[in-house]
């Protein structure tokens, strides 16, 4: 079946990020080791990404657990000002958009996603037909339910979709669901693999 739809992950696919400044501040404010600080937030963050916590509840958790106090805008910047665009992926995605339906499929939260969409609005303009977001789906990759949610919501045929993500386990889950999948290592490699699937990139 010919490809009609391209699905993009967000982090490490369209935008890169560095979480170390956040981890460093959490470590310093709590006097915990970096590893302990990361582990303390991991399970709660997955819940935030599944939409089980609001942004207000997430801020309260971080402030309480790590002895921080910020305004909502200060916290938003602290939590989200960690991203920068992968320009060559945006260039590729704008070229493929001329021929295909395109969607975001991302494990993200209700602070990170709006921040990226606002900060890089020009790059996202006209790029996507919709977004499949973990905090709306109530599931995070590689959970099959996020793929079920996305295909049902946007009436997608898995066999006609190709999903691009940086994590092999997420691509394996997409393939198990019936999609084609590409583990991104570079924009040039993604373009080459798309072309091998018969996808037009010009």
Q: Whole-model pTM? A: 0.95
Report whether 30 contacts 38 (CB < 8 A). Answer: no
Q: Domain 5-16+83-196's class? A: alpha beta
Is residue 92 scored above 80 in pLDDT?
Answer: yes
Q: Per-residue confidence at 103, pLDDT binned at 50, 70, 90?
A: very high
Which residue did the predictor score with more confidence, 128 or 24? 128
Nearest-5° Cα angle at 82, 80 to 83: 100
CA distance to 4, 154, 187, per residue, from 166 (Å): 21, 23, 11
Report whether 93 contacts 127 (CB < 8 A). Answer: yes
Q: For the beta carbon of residue 102, count every other beta carbon within 10 angstroms.
A: 18
The closest of 87, 83, 84 to 186, measured between CA atoms, is 87
Is residue 38 scored above 90 in pLDDT?
Answer: no
Phi-psi region of 77 (alpha: psi -120 to 50; beta: other; left: phi over 0): alpha
Q: Domain-by-domain residue ranges, the chain?
A: 5-16+83-196, 19-80
Is residue 4 scored above 90 in pLDDT?
Answer: yes
Average pLDDT of the chain is: 96
Which residue did the predictor score with more confidence, 164 or 43? 164
Backbone angles phi, psi at 165, to 5 degrees: -150, 160
Q: Average pLDDT for residues 133-161, to the nearest whole number?
A: 99
Q: Which residue has the tokens 């991104």?
A: 184
Q: Per-residue confidence at 120, pLDDT binned at 50, 70, 90?
A: very high
165-186 per-position pLDDT tens digit: 999 999 999 999 999 999 999 9
State the Cα–Cα distance between residues 133 and 109, nearest whole angstrom. 8
Is residue 23 scored above 90 in pLDDT?
Answer: no
Query: What is the per-residue pLDDT for 79?
Result: 97
């Amino acid at each position: 079946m010919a490809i009609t739809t391209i699905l993009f992950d967000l982090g490490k696919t369209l935008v890169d990020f560095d979480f170390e400044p956040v981890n460093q501040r959490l470590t310093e404010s709590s006097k915990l080791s970096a590893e302990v600080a990361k582990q303390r937030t991991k399970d709660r963050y997955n819940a935030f990404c599944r939409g089980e916590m609001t942004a207000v509840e997430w801020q309260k958790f971080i402030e309480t657990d790590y002895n921080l106090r910020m305004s909502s805008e200060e916290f938003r910047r602290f939590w989200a000002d960690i991203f920068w665009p992968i320009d060559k992926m945006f260039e590729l995605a704008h070229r493929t958009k001329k021929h295909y339906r395109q969607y975001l499929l991302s494990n993200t939260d209700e602070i990170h996603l709006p921040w990226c969409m606002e900060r890089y609005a020009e790059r996202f303009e006209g790029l996507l037909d919709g977004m499949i977001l973990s905090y709306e789906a109530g599931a995070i990759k590689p959970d099959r339910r996020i793929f079920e949610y996305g295909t049902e919501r946007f009436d997608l045929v898995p066999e006609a979709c190709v999903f691009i993500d940086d994590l092999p386990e997420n691509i394996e889950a997409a393939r198990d669901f019936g999609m084609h999948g590409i583990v991104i290592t570079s924009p040039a490699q993604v373009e080459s693999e798309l072309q091998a699937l018969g996808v037009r990139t010009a």
